[in-house]
């Protein structure tokens, strides 16, 4: 077969990314000791879901959903699942999407109109940014977790827009720090035209009663316009969901293009989601995770440039790409898998390694990680 022409711009973009040391490659060979993945409770790695799903009546049924939910892909099973999910998260309704990324795109690309404003924390996930940019609303960032910056933005812009949507993550994916959700909800409680949207991707399974998330832990579930939960992290499966009012659900069914034009998840995936919720209720994995988080937190208290958090995510600032790469190589040499975050993803001088703590990490594994960090920071 003759070679097809390739635009020179594609080669150029790849070369430029390689020069910056940012070229991504797909691999299947990872260090054995996992401090990198988002499988915080071990539902995927430890086989909890696999065991739960054995003998499911969906195992031998049709796999493909055959169309989007507004065409042929909707089933009574999905509808009932959404009712159960809404009940679990103390919401009026729920709408399942094919991933957390698609849920964020699906919500934020359609909810703000031309007369509306979106104020977003500068460190929200790129999936939220992509959705905001696709929407018709005007949008401005506010300084990370800075209540004064947010309040000033609201006061400055409120008279110029019909509605204001505040977009935050409950737990931020870079350093695991928590949004000041109580303070934000208190700030806007008398503002009828200001609405709070919270991405709980890194909070479900980690915080709240039976892992319901940080909004649950803080008692502000009913103060949120919309909450997004992702199933590819602590839940160990696939998909995402938006919970909120019945009006919001009907609006998304009619105006969210990613929902309308995406083939529905098959019933097998919905079944896995429901079983993951059962595991939240039935297992003690959340307690094991919290114990490991507390152990790691206490043991790294004196380490310079360590960013500790109450969540499963922690970071060590290395100060340069080169230092981050050296430490990552040392971790790999010790069979430890961690996530490197280099500039320009973070500002120069803020390069870091990111560590995810899991329910299945042993104390010995955590001690090995701490030993490698301490050797590096001597």
Residue 341's CATH number? 3.90.1150.10
Regarding whether 236 and 110 lie in a shared domain, the answer is yes
Q: For 210-224, how does the pLDDT look when each residue is reduced to its tens digit (9 = 90+)?
A: 999 999 999 999 999
Regarding whether 174 and 84 lie in a shared domain, the answer is yes
**Is 211 within a domain?**
yes
Q: Report the percentage of the chain scoring pLDDT > 90.
A: 86
Regarding whether 136 and 91 lie in a shared domain, the answer is yes
Regarding whether 118 and 211 lie in a shared domain, the answer is yes
Regarding whether 183 and 293 lie in a shared domain, the answer is no
Q: Which of 235, 265, 295 is the last residue of a domain?
A: 265
**Structural domains counted in the chain:** 2
pTM: 0.95
Regarding whether 144 and 211 lie in a shared domain, the answer is yes
Q: For 88-146, how does the pLDDT look when each residue is reduced to its tens digit (9 = 90+)?
A: 999 999 999 999 999 999 999 999 999 999 999 999 999 999 999 999 999 999 999 99
Q: For 289-304, how does the pLDDT look when each residue is reduced to its tens digit (9 = 90+)?
A: 999 999 999 999 889 9
Question: Averaging pLDDT over each range in 7-21, 51-65, 77-91, which range is the top one?
Answer: 77-91
**Is 3 within a domain?**
no
**Is 365 within a domain?**
yes
Regarding whether 108 and 136 lie in a shared domain, the answer is yes
Regarding whether 358 and 317 lie in a shared domain, the answer is yes
**Is 200 within a domain?**
yes
Regarding whether 174 and 290 lie in a shared domain, the answer is no
Mean pLDDT over residues 235-246, rounded? 97
**Is 195 within a domain?**
yes
User: Given pLDDT bands bounded at 50, 70 and 90, which one contains residue 54?
Assistant: confident
CATH of the domain at 217: 3.40.640.10
Regarding whether 123 and 73 lie in a shared domain, the answer is yes
Regarding whether 131 and 88 lie in a shared domain, the answer is yes
pLDDT for the residue 1: 47
Are the CB atoms for 35 and 337 separated by under 8 Å?
A: yes
202: left (phi over 0), alpha (psi -120 to 50) or beta: alpha
Domain that holds residue 261: 65-265
Are the CB atoms for 377 and 323 separated by under 8 Å?
A: no
* Backbone dihedral angles phi then psi of residue 195, each to the nearest 5 degrees: -130, 140
**Is 115 within a domain?**
yes
Closest CA to 229 of 123, 46, 94, 352: 94
Distance CA 39, CA 231 (A): 10
Mean pLDDT over residues 336-343, rounded? 92
**Is 338 within a domain?**
yes
pLDDT of 177 over the 90 cut: yes
Q: For 265-289, how does the pLDDT look when each residue is reduced to its tens digit (9 = 90+)?
A: 999 999 999 999 999 999 999 999 9
Q: What is the chain's Cα-based Rg?
A: 22
Regarding whether 174 and 308 lie in a shared domain, the answer is no
**Is 20 within a domain?**
no
């Amino acid at each position: 077969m003759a070679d097809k022409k390739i635009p020179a711009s594609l080669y150029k973009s790849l070369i430029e990314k390689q020069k910056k040391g940012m070229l991504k490659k797909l691999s299947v060979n990872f260090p054995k000791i996992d401090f990198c993945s988002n499988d915080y409770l071990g539902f995927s790695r430890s086989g909890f879901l696999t065991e739960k799903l054995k003998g499911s009546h969906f195992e031998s049924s049709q796999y493909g959903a055959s169309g989007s939910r507004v065409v042929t892909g909707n089933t009574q099973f999905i509808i009932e699942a959404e009712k159960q999910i809404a009940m679990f998260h103390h919401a009026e309704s729920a709408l399942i999407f094919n991933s957390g990324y698609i849920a964020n795109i699906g919500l934020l690309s359609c909810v703000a109109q031309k007369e509306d404003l979106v104020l977003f924390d500068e460190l929200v996930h790129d999936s939220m940014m992509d959705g905001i940019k696709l929407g018709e609303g005007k949008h401005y960032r506010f300084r990370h977790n800075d209540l004064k910056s947010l309040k000033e933005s609201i006061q400055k812009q409120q008279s110029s827009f019909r509605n204001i949507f505040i977009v935050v993550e409950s737990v931020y994916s870079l350093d695991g720090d928590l949004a000041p959700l109580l303070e934000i909800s208190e700030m806007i409680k008398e503002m009828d035209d200001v609405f709070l949207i919270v991405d709980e991707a890194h909070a479900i399974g980690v915080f709240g009663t039976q892992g319901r998330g940080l909004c649950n832990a803080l008692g502000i579930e009913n103060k949120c316009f919309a909450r997004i939960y992702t199933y590819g992290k602590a839940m160990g499966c696939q998909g995402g969901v938006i919970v909120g009012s019945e009006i919001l659900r009907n609006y998304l069914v009619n105006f969210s293009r990613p929902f309308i034009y995406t083939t529905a998840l098959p019933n097998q995936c919905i079944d896995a989601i429901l079983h993951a919720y059962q595991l939240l209720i039935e297992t003690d994995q959340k307690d094991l995770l919290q114990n490991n988080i507390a152990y790691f937190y206490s043991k790294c208290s004196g380490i310079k440039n360590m960013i500790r958090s109450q969540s499963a995510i922690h970071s060590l600032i290395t100060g340069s790409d080169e230092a981050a790469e050296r430490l990552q190589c040392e971790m790999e040499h010790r069979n430890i898998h961690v996530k490197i975050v280099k500039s320009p993803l973070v500002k120069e001088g803020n390069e870091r390694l990111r560590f995810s703590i899991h329910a299945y990490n042993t104390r010995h594994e955590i001690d090995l990680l701490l030993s490698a960090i301490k050797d590096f920071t001597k």
